[in-house]
A and B are shown apart, each in its own frame.
Chain A
Amino acid sequence: QLQLQESGPGLVKPSETLSLTCTVSGASISSTSHYWGWIRQPPGKALEWIGNIFYSGSTLSNPSFHGRLTMSVDPSKNQFSLELTSVTAADTAVYYCARRPHYFDYWGQGILVTVSS
C-alpha cells in the first residue's frame, strides 16, 4: 500500500527557510509514470498547488513561488523535498505531499507549518 509521510519543523521564523521532506513507501519514487507534488492549504483557505518533481529531478512549479522555491528528489532514499525561502505569515499552512499521475491520487497526512517569531 502506497504511503507518503511529510516531515519537518512545525514552526519556522519569518524570513527563514521552510524545509520539508516527503518519504514514500510502498512504491518507487523512480516511477516513470508519476510526478511527486506539493500542495498546501492555508487556514480557512483553498488548496494551492506548489510544484511537482519527477524522479529525474525535473520540476514544474507555481509561478507564485518563483524565486523562493527549490524542490529536490533522492531516489536512493525514496524521498523528495521542498525548500521555501523568505517565509512570511502567509506561508502558514498545512503542507501535503502527493503522487501525481495527472490528478493527485495518493496524499500524505499533511503537516502544519506555522510561520511565527
Chain B
Amino acid sequence: AIQLTQSPSSLSASIGDRVSITCRPSQGIAGGLAWYQLKPGKPPKVLIYDASTLASGVPSRFSGSGFGTEFTLTISSLQPEDFATYYCQQYNIYPLTFGPGTTVDIK
C-alpha cells in the first residue's frame, strides 16, 4: 500500500499567517490526491481534489499544488475557523490511503 507522509505533524500559527503542509507518497500517484479538513465532532470536509482543484464552497485562501511524489496544501492567510487537523488522501492506487494528519493550532 502507498504510505503518505505529512509534515509537519503539527504546527502553531497566528491569524493571518501563511501555512503550508506537505504530503509525500511512498510512490508516484500522478495527481490523484485530495486534502481534507477535520474538526472535532464534524465529518471531514474536502478542500482540494486532483491535487490542485478547489472544492465547491471552499475559500480561495486554500490552494493545493504538486504531482507525483510531493504535494502541498497552502493556507494563504490563516483564519480562526482554519484551526483543525488536515489530512491528505491518495486515490490513484488501491488500497486508498490517508496521511497521518497535521494539526494546526493557535500560537
Interface residues of A (CB under 8 A from B): 39, 46-49, 52, 60-64, 96, 98, 100, 102-105, 107-110
Can you list 7 A-B pairs with a CB-CB distance of less than 8 A?
A: A46-B87, A49-B98, A62-B96, A63-B95, A96-B43, A98-B43, A102-B50
- Which chain A residues lie closer than 8 Å to B101 at the CB level? 46-47
Is B43 within 8 A of A107, CB to CB? yes
A35 to B104, CA, bound (A): 31
Q: How far is the CB of A25 from chain B (nearest CB, A)?
A: 15
B residues whose Cβ falls under 8 Å from a Cβ of A: 1, 32, 34, 36, 38, 42-46, 49-50, 55, 87, 89, 91, 94-101
In the assembled complex, the Cα of A103 lies from the Cα of B36 at a distance in Å of: 10
Q: Is the interface of A mostly helix, strand, loop or mixed?
A: mixed
In the bound complex, how far is the Cα of B72 from the Cα of A34, in angstroms?
Answer: 26
Q: Are A49 and B95 in contact, with the CB atoms below 8 A?
A: yes
B43 adjacent to A60 (CB under 8 Å): no
Contact A107 B44 (CB under 8 A): yes
Report whether B44 and A47 are in contact in the complex, using a CB–CB cutoff of 8 Å. Answer: yes
The 3 closest A-B pairs by CB, nearest first: A103-B34, A107-B43, A49-B96
Q: Across the two chains, which residue of chain A brings its CB closest to B99? A: A46
Q: Contact partner of B46 among A52, A105, A108, CB < 8 A?
A: A105
User: B37 to nearest A CB, angstroms?
Assistant: 11
User: With A and B bound together, what is the CA distance between A102 and B96 in angstroms?
Assistant: 10
Give Cα A67 to B64, complex, Å.
Answer: 37
Q: Which residues of A contact B97 (CB under 8 A)?
A: 49
Question: Knowing A96-B44, A109-B43 touch, does A103 contact B98 (C-beta < 8 A)?
Answer: no
Chain B residue numbers with a CB within 8 Å of A63 are: 1, 95
Question: In the complex, how many angstroms separate the beta carbon of B62 from the nearest chain A beta carbon?
Answer: 14
